Amino acid sequence: MGSSRSLFTYEELEAATAGFSRANLLGEGGFGCVYKGFLHGGQVVAVKQLRVGSRQGEREFRAEVEIISRVHHRHLVSLVGYCIADAQRLLVYDFVPNGTLEHHLHGKGRPVMDWPTRLKIASGSARGLAYLHEDCHPRIIHRDIKSSNILLDNNFDAQVSDFGLAKLASDTYTHVTTRVMGTFGYLAPEYASTGKLTEKSDVYSFGVVLLELLTGRRPVDTTQPVGKESLVEWARPYLMQAIENGDLDGIVDERLANYNENEMLRMVEAAAACVRHSASERPRMAEVVPALKSDISNLNQGVKPGHSSNFTSADYNSNQYASDMKRFQKVVFGSQEHGSSEHSGPPTSDPSVSSSGGMSSMEMERRRAGLLWSSDTTSSSEINANTNSSNRLNGR
């Protein structure tokens, strides 16, 4: 580890978090628990206590932390230090004070986020993700891009969190080797089908975040008709309408009173390109960054703007996509979960809390959790909870 990173004792972090007090708990879920802490000298930090299996060796952990520790970017959450104590593995991050993008977009009673702020967050998080993909050595694939992993400081500058954690946490808890990891609404179709991870999987997930910013909708809405629960599938015709005719009706968050149409259309173009079915036809994040600012010339690369169904025999094809998504949706939602009693309820300030009217305990878990789907075709598909709130390195 470099001198800019600190090795903490377990006792130091225990004292910093008041004994890992529930009062200091910021979130918990698939990767572990996150606590607010106060170091000697007054520095405020977020302490992530990883769930680590017995197969996680100290040398492997140190090697992965070394990679994370070399990442420095204004739009990425900074690692302050780490702790290894027997089987305990803890990471210490800068505390980001203004909550998650998810909280500000979807939290109950939150004021409407204005357009300049949304664009600022999109641009900042795109820059952070592009840095992971292009400028880190080795390159880092995030694997879990979503609005709850985009943290905001007091100026609403975005910082992407939780990069690099997939290799640090136990497969027992996070299902990152033979199973697809991530939240259903953000999963790239080829990732859900094969488990193959590339930078283009992150690009797709980022496209879903852009759709959240454009529409104010959640990535999954079970009040929608069967097949349209996914924000991406719901949005596709509206994206095409906006790109072909400049008609933003339907795609823009109706709560937005004022916005710049040219900026909005650029984000529409970027979102549509990012969520193309075919991974090879999605742009790189380094091409998304300038598109959000002014230059969309590199988004399409010979693909007709807005189109996402141009496939080659060697790539993920439309029939396979439709089959996988139908299977996936059936596994996630079930064939009997779309009755009149099914409501998503109002958005809450805590993404781990949902309304429960008329829902079974499994349905409530599906609402509360990030959903992990097995990509191992030799065994049955399975859903595993991975609560979004676990990814917070921040407070409210």
Q: Is the dihedral of CA 353, 359, 362, 367 positive or negative?
A: negative
The label of the residue with tokens 């991975």 reads 386
> How buried is 309 (Cβ within 10 angstroms: 0-12 exposed, 13-18 middle, 19+ buried)?
middle
Calpha distance 60→67 (Å, rounded): 11
48 known ligand binder: yes
Q: Is the dihedral of CA 263, 264, 268, 271 positive or negative?
A: positive
The label of the residue with tokens 């690369």 reads 301
Residue of 283, 249, 280 whose CA lies nearest to 265: 249
Q: Which of 94, 144, 162, 202 is catalytic?
A: 144
Rounded-to-10 torsion of CA 354, 215, 34, 175: 80
Residue of 292, 304, 323, 309 whose CA lies nearest to 122: 292
Calpha distance 211→122 (Å, rounded): 10
Q: What is the arrangement of strands in the sheet containing 32-38, beginning at the earlier edge strand?
A: 6-7, 79-85, 88-94, 44-50, 32-38, 25-29
Residue of 153, 125, 144, 273 whose CA lies nearest to 219: 144
Say how many C-beta atoms besides its own lie within 10 A of residue 212's C-beta: 26
Report whether 351 contacts 388 (CB < 8 A).
yes
Calpha distance 150→75 (Å, rounded): 9
Phi and psi angles of residue 126, each rounded to the nearest 5 degrees, phi first: -65, -40
Query: Active-site residue 350, yes or no?
Result: no
Report whether 199 contacts 95 (CB < 8 A).
no
Residue of 329, 311, 308 whose CA lies nearest to 319: 311
Residue type, 221: D
Residues making up the annotated binding site for ATP are: 48
Residues making up the annotated binding site are: 48
Positions marked active-site: 144
